[in-house]
Amino acid sequence: MLPITVFIVFILLIDIYTYKGLRTLLKKPVSPAVTVLFKTAFWLVPLMLFASVAYLLYFRPEGPDTRVFNGHLYIIAFTMLFYLPKLVFIFFHLIEDIVFVSESAVLSVKSFFSKSRSRKIRGPRRSFLSRIGIVIAIIPFLAVIHGVAIGRFDFQVIEKELEFEALPPAFDGFRIVHISDLHLGSFHGYKDQVRQAVEIINRLEPDMIVFTGDLVNNFTSEADAFVGILAGLEASYGKYSILGNHDYGDYHQWASEADKVQNMNDMLVIQEKMGFRLLMNEWDSIVINGDKIAVIGVENWGEPPFPQYGDLEKAMQGTEEFSLRLLLTHDPSHWDAEVLNQTGIELTLAGHTHGMQVGIENSLIRWSPSKLKYPRWGGLYEETGQFLYVNRGLGYVAFPGRIGMPPEITVIELRTFSEDKKALPEENWMVRE
């Protein structure tokens, strides 16, 4: 109950101060009906929020139920929709209050020491900052609406061309489609959107499809309704997958350990039904005209509190003969911890961060709050000839939307190293979008 109590107190403090600020702006007398309408509309928002939280706490069904998790998602969306704008307004109104109190204090001091003993001890209130706050608060309000209604299904294709000296000739032009973090429980009621993503991927004509974890939110059963759709993914040389931190059922209090084990067994079965070769600290080879590369997959490995089931040393055993190795790992933190400068793995693909589903990416700015925890939160990274690509995720979790961070389908085309590009700066020849 402590987190719930803190949440309620925090929300009420925001509402009380916001209400006080709005009342300050409404200086002109209004009719009693308008006053009642304003008060009702304002306080109905926290009332609906608290009622929703109470419903999920006390009336939720027992056992795995996607509706409960999705209920949490929409409570988060509702909270962001109304309280991000309120926080913006509060910021400006607080500055206004500080200025008002400071000026009033100065006048009080002057009045005390003045011979005239002026009665004016309060300065004029300037409400322009609060008015600016209301205008700016519209931005996060509209951003959340767009992120929920449009942004979460605005699938984007990002293409990268990478060159490797060690790439076998038969793999020149080999196209890998990389997807991650489907979180299928969040897509219940939106099967057509998942089908649309599959159609986009198939039109890209991939040679291989790789999925870097988090198929579901908590329960394998979340994927049941999507097996047929995802089985329709087509790739000439196969589909490979690994597990993410959400796929183990670690975030649910199971009635028994046997139930959790069964959930994992179901995960193994459903991956096979979808046509994925699930790599659990192991590897497989892709062979074209006698040339071959290794595809290595590890179980989830993350910085605490995320589990570290991955065993890279075990997964790599027997891959020394391959001139190029591709590693699938869910958490990009794994690359810095165990891959970079410690193995000869040329290309690593990861996901997990979602780019926090919020950010700004353009020619001038590339930022996401995800960067506060993950230095390598999205896109392509290269050091000492080793590459990491972090997919921003195809699905969503926590917040049922995406703001400036669209769901991503990545196409990575492998190319043999061109001698005529050696004279160019590294960023020009190593990576081309």
Closest by Cα among 341, 345, 422, 332 to 380:
332
For residue 391, give the 3-state DSSP assignment. Answer: coil
Q: Tokens at residue 36, please? A: 């009642």
**One-letter identity of residue 380:** L
From first to last of its 433 residues, the chain has per-residue pLDDT tens of 788 889 999 999 999 999 999 988 876 667 788 888 889 999 999 999 999 988 877 766 666 777 777 888 899 999 999 999 999 999 999 999 898 888 778 777 777 776 555 555 555 566 888 999 999 999 999 999 999 999 999 999 999 999 999 999 999 999 999 999 999 999 999 999 999 999 999 999 999 999 999 999 999 999 999 999 999 999 999 999 999 999 999 988 898 999 999 999 999 999 999 999 999 999 999 999 999 999 999 999 998 888 899 999 999 999 999 999 999 999 999 999 999 999 999 999 999 999 999 999 988 899 999 999 999 999 999 999 999 999 999 999 999 999 999 999 999 999 998 765 544 444 333 343 3
Give the model's pLDDT for residue 116. 56
Cβ neighbour number for residue 14 with a 10 Å cutoff: 17
* Beta-strand pair 379-383/386-390: antiparallel
Query: Do the beta carbons of residue 423 and residue 210 sit within 8 Å?
Result: no
**One-letter identity of residue 68:** V
Closest by Cα among 420, 423, 416, 409 to 203:
409
Give the model's pLDDT for residue 121. 52
Query: In angstroms, what CA-CA distances link 190 with 77, 100, 144, 157?
Result: 17, 51, 19, 20
Q: Tokens at residue 355, please? A: 């780019």
Burial class (CB in 10 A: 0-12, 13-18, 19+), 128: exposed
Domains (range + CATH), the chain: 2-149 (no CATH), 156-432 (3.60.21.10)
Residue 74 backbone dihedrals phi, psi, to 5 degrees:
-75, -25
**One-letter identity of residue 258:** A
Query: Do the beta carbons of residue 193 and residue 226 sit within 8 Å?
Result: no
Dump strand ranges (E) for 137-281: 156-164, 174-179, 208-211, 239-241, 277-278
**One-letter identity of residue 113:** F
Query: Do the beta carbons of residue 92 and residue 211 sit within 8 Å?
Result: no
Q: What is the largest CA-CA distance in the chain?
A: 101
Query: Do the beta carbons of residue 181 and residue 213 sit within 8 Å?
Result: yes
Burial class (CB in 10 A: 0-12, 13-18, 19+), 223: buried
